[in-house]
């Protein structure tokens, strides 16, 4: 590490990314140096950043509010149908509650939902101009899932319990609830329009 610092000292301005090996991580990590003091910001410090946390919360909430507004006001979809047709918004509201509570089990129980509906939505829905906002929401949901997993690495038992709860809930929704809801012709028609 000292040798890398000597190589960096020759440079006076800008942003320097130095790859090095960290014994604490056991793998390489990127240390980012800013300004004259060359203070290193570690990846774990980035995850603890309040600015990153609140930026993520605000971005996912704005997108969830917008999609809820579109479904409930413009499309006039009944709330019962909205919960299933726009399941990303209720998922985001629950995820926000989990993040604000800082409960690791609750946060990690939301990860399967974020992956299933967020990352899965990237492949299920088209990328037309009408669906770009929804796809942006799916990207944010994927980033949020990654953020939760990385910020929970220090409590793996709680992460495992949360994942298990989330996966069981997804299975119940997929096997028992969705077939009933999507057997309704009106819901099936709206969903067909959304995915085509």
Instruction: Report the alpha-carbon distance of residue 194 to residue 196 in Å, rounded.
Output: 6
Instruction: Taking residues 7-27, report their average pLDDT.
Output: 40
Query: Given this model, what pLDDT does residue 42 score?
Result: 56
Integer CA distances (angstroms), 114 to 38, 118, 127, 137, 172, in order: 37, 5, 19, 10, 16
Query: Given this model, what pLDDT does residue 170 score?
Result: 96
Mean pLDDT of the residues in the chain: 81
Query: Given this model, what pLDDT does residue 38 score?
Result: 53
Nearest C-alpha neighbor of 140 from the set 91, 79, 180: 91
CA 89, 94, 100 angle in degrees (round to 5)?
125
Read off the pLDDT of residues 92-140 as tens digits, 9 standing for 90 and up: 999 999 999 999 999 999 999 999 999 999 998 889 888 899 999 999 9
Q: Which residue has the tokens 């793998």?
A: 27
Does position 5 have pLDDT exceeding 70, yes or no?
no
Instruction: Report the alpha-carbon distance of residue 158 to residue 54 in Å, rounded.
Output: 23
Query: Given this model, what pLDDT does residue 28 score?
Result: 35
Query: Given this model, what pLDDT does residue 44 score?
Result: 62
Query: Given this model, what pLDDT does residue 43 score?
Result: 58
Tokens of 117: 């509906």
Does position 12 have pLDDT exceeding 90, yes or no?
no
Return phi, psi of residue 174, to 5°. -70, -40
Query: Given this model, what pLDDT does residue 30 score?
Result: 40
Which residues are CB-neighbours of 93 under 8 A, at least 6 positions away? 64
Instruction: Taking residues 161-181, report their average pLDDT.
Output: 94
Does position 29 have pLDDT exceeding 50, yes or no?
no
């Amino acid at each position: 590490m000292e040798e890398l610092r000597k190589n960096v000292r020759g440079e006076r301005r800008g942003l320097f990314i130095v790859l090095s090996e960290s014994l604490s991580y056991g793998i390489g990590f990127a240390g980012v140096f800013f300004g004259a003091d060359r203070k290193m910001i570690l990846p774990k410090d980035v995850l603890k950043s309040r600015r990153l946390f609140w930026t993520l919360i605000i971005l996912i909430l704005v997108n969830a509010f917008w999609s809820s507004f579109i479904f409930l006001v413009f499309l006039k979809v009944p709330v019962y149908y909205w919960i299933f047709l726009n399941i990303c918004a209720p998922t985001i509201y629950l995820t926000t509650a989990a993040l604000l509570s800082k409960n690791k089990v609750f946060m990690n129980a939301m990860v399967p939902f974020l992956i299933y509906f967020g990352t899965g939505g990237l492949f299920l829905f088209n990328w037309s101009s009408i669906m770009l906002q929804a796809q942006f929401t799916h990207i944010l949901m994927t980033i949020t899932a990654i953020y939760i997993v990385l910020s929970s690495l220090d409590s793996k038992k709680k992460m495992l319990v949360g994942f298990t709860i989330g996966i069981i809930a997804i299975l119940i929704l997929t096997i028992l609830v969705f077939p009933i809801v999507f057997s309704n012709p009106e819901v099936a028609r709206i969903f067909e329009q959304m995915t085509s």
